[in-house]
Amino acid sequence: MPMSPDATGAHSSGATQRFNFFQRMMLRWRELHPYNPVHVLQLPVPLQPERLREVLAAQLEAQGLTGLAVDRRRWRYRYTGGPAQLALRIVDGAGDADATLAQVIEEEFNRPFAPGPQEQPFRFVAIDEHGSFRLALAYDHYVAGGEAIARWLTRLAGALLDEGPAAVPPRLPPDGARYRHALLRHPGWALRALLGLPQTIGQSRRACRARFERADDRHNAFRSLRLGVAQTRALRAAASEWGVTLHELLTACLLLSLSPLVPRRGGTARRQELAVASIMNMRRDLAPAAQSGLSPFLAAYRVSHRVPEGIALRQLAGDVHQQSQHIQRRHLYLHSLLGLALSVPLRRLLTPAQRDGFYAKHFPVQAGITSVDLNRLWARDGGAPARRFGYLRAVPTGPLCPLVLAVTQAHDELQLGLAFRTSAFPRETVERLAANLLQHVARSSELSSAPSCEPSAAPPTTVVAS
């Protein structure tokens, strides 16, 4: 987290930190539209509002996440400490809890965090289901990455599910990660990525661009899907049998689901491919001690395909696997950072209207996908929680992707969150997309020769965006 250790190894409150490159980009994107992911805990205990407020305040203070002061001119920030200024609202979800949750997430997507001398970048919403409740955390994305939030909320869930006094978790580790640290550890990566940039630019010219009714309309909406235990096990078995990762199989399902919904063959003869971006956590490229910090440390890579009519899901998943593995072996996801770096000086020359469509024009993708496997995260941190709870992520679209599929593995289920810009994907189109996704997921289960078995698959790529 953004604190520096003192000589004894403890955190020194109020230490000033520099924003990393991706945090700076997020702050620039925030000028166009709020950029607020939402993580949701589903807790099988009755809501106790006063205890919830007590636990939340204690956790924020214990983690040192209070009194955030931001210096945009010098790209610095620090947490000055002090009592938590808790932002918590309680909503009645006794009627249709899923519809209530979708409405809450949509509101939090589109509601900016108020700037000021001291910012509060976290908001909580408790949805009371009368016997259980869901707790949604919306956060300004520049302050945290998805894995760090998942770790924190796991500890928070443990405190809320404990019938004894609220447990105060240890602080997240200090965070001073920089992109240059990864490049200094691996000096050949940037050169190889730079030499491969012309090929990537050529590939982007074959991808069809997203279409918007209004480029300046960035309103985000949300739709969720849940895969039960049998479906999840069958999907993992299919990925294992086909020699692909679960993330790659879901990317193929997403491409197949988008194909009938995206008008491209009536456009130019050149732009005939569909492209999907995978947003990944670059902390794996740092030293082990730096891999659990709070701030986001992201990159992205794009896979594209013509998705011809009648292509088999297994073949498409294999093609996605080949592209993904080539990009990751050669670390070509650094192209996304090179492109963003080049966009900074160009951005100053653009009008506000041109800025609205800049990324969609030069990084043409129809959707993004981000995956977090909480089971693996918990295994690295010492084991799964003693009591089960549900976990859902909702990742907003931002300026790069008009639709984002957030995949979360927790226990033996998959939660899928679809965030979308309504100016590019009307709600009725997303309903068709959701139906297509479920159809292709079911189809992959039928094609597997061992759908009910737990896979012994190769480890999936860890990809995260929130």
The pair of three-digit structure tokens given for residue 335, joined into one six-digit string: 């192209």
Element (H, E) at 359: helix 352-362
* Distance from C-alpha of 177 to C-alpha of 337, rounded to nearest angstrom: 15
Mean pLDDT (whole number) for 92-116: 92
pLDDT tops 50 at residue 335: yes
CA distances from 180 to 21, 106, 145, 274, 381 (A): 10, 36, 18, 32, 27
Instruction: Report helix, strand or coil for 399.
Output: coil
End-to-end CA distance of the chain: 15
Dihedral angle over CA of 13, 17, 23, 26, nearest 10: 70
* Distance from C-alpha of 337 to C-alpha of 195, rounded to nearest angstrom: 14
pLDDT tops 70 at residue 224: yes
Decide: 277 and 399 in contact? Cβ < 8 Å.
no
- Residue 448's pLDDT is what? 67
* Distance from C-alpha of 323 to C-alpha of 325, rounded to nearest angstrom: 6
Q: Pick the residue with more confidence: 184 or 302?
A: 302
The pair of three-digit structure tokens given for residue 110, joined into one six-digit string: 């589109």
pLDDT tops 50 at residue 185: yes
pLDDT tops 60 at residue 123: yes
Of residues 270, 251, 274, the one with CA closest to residue 262: 274
The pair of three-digit structure tokens given for residue 197, joined into one six-digit string: 């940039």
Mean pLDDT (whole number) for 231-238: 94
Most confident of 278-282, 287-291, 358-362: 278-282
Instruction: Report helix, strand or coil for 39.
Output: strand
pLDDT tops 90 at residue 278: yes
Q: Which residues pair with 303 in a beta bridge?
A: 276
- Residue 291's pLDDT is what? 73
179-375+393-447 maps to which CATH number?
Answer: 3.30.559.30
Task: Give ranges for CATH 3.30.559.30 in the chain.
Answer: 179-375+393-447
Decide: 238 and 249 in contact? Cβ < 8 Å.
yes
Q: What angle do CA 392, 222, 68 make, to 5 degrees?
A: 65
Decide: 299 and 465 in contact? Cβ < 8 Å.
no
- Residue 209's pLDDT is what? 84
Mean pLDDT (whole number) for 431-458: 72
The strand ranges marked E within 85-230 are: 88-92, 122-128, 133-139, 220-227
Of residues 233, 174, 161, 187, the one with CA closest to residue 384: 161
- Residue 265's pLDDT is what? 52
- Residue 459's pLDDT is what? 38
Q: Which residues pair with 79 in a beta bridge?
A: 68
Specify the CATH architecture of the domain 15-161.
Answer: 2-Layer Sandwich (3.30)
Q: Pick the residue with more confidence: 341 or 220?
A: 220
Mean pLDDT (whole number) for 224-241: 94
The pair of three-digit structure tokens given for residue 420, joined into one six-digit string: 């979308």
Of residues 344, 348, 257, 270, the one with CA closest to residue 307: 257
- Residue 176's pLDDT is what? 63
* Distance from C-alpha of 108 to C-alpha of 140, rounded to nearest angstrom: 10
Q: Pick the residue with more confidence: 122 or 364?
A: 122
The pair of three-digit structure tokens given for residue 466, joined into one six-digit string: 């929130």
- Residue 8's pLDDT is what? 25
Dihedral angle over CA of 223, 462, 155, 8, nearest 10: -140
Instruction: Report helix, strand or coil for 77.
Output: strand
Task: Give ranges for CATH 3.30.559.10 in the chain.
Answer: 15-161
Decide: 235 and 444 in contact? Cβ < 8 Å.
yes
Q: How does the average pLDDT of the chain come out, rounded?
A: 84
* Distance from C-alpha of 305 to C-alpha of 319, rounded to nearest angstrom: 8
Most confident of 86-100, 126-140, 260-274: 126-140
Angle between helices 334-347 and 352-362 (to 10 degrees): 160
Q: How far is CA 262 from the centre of its chain?
A: 23
- Residue 454's pLDDT is what? 40
Mean pLDDT (whole number) for 286-315: 87
Is 0.75 surpassed by the pTM of this model? yes
Instruction: Report helix, strand or coil for 154.
Output: helix
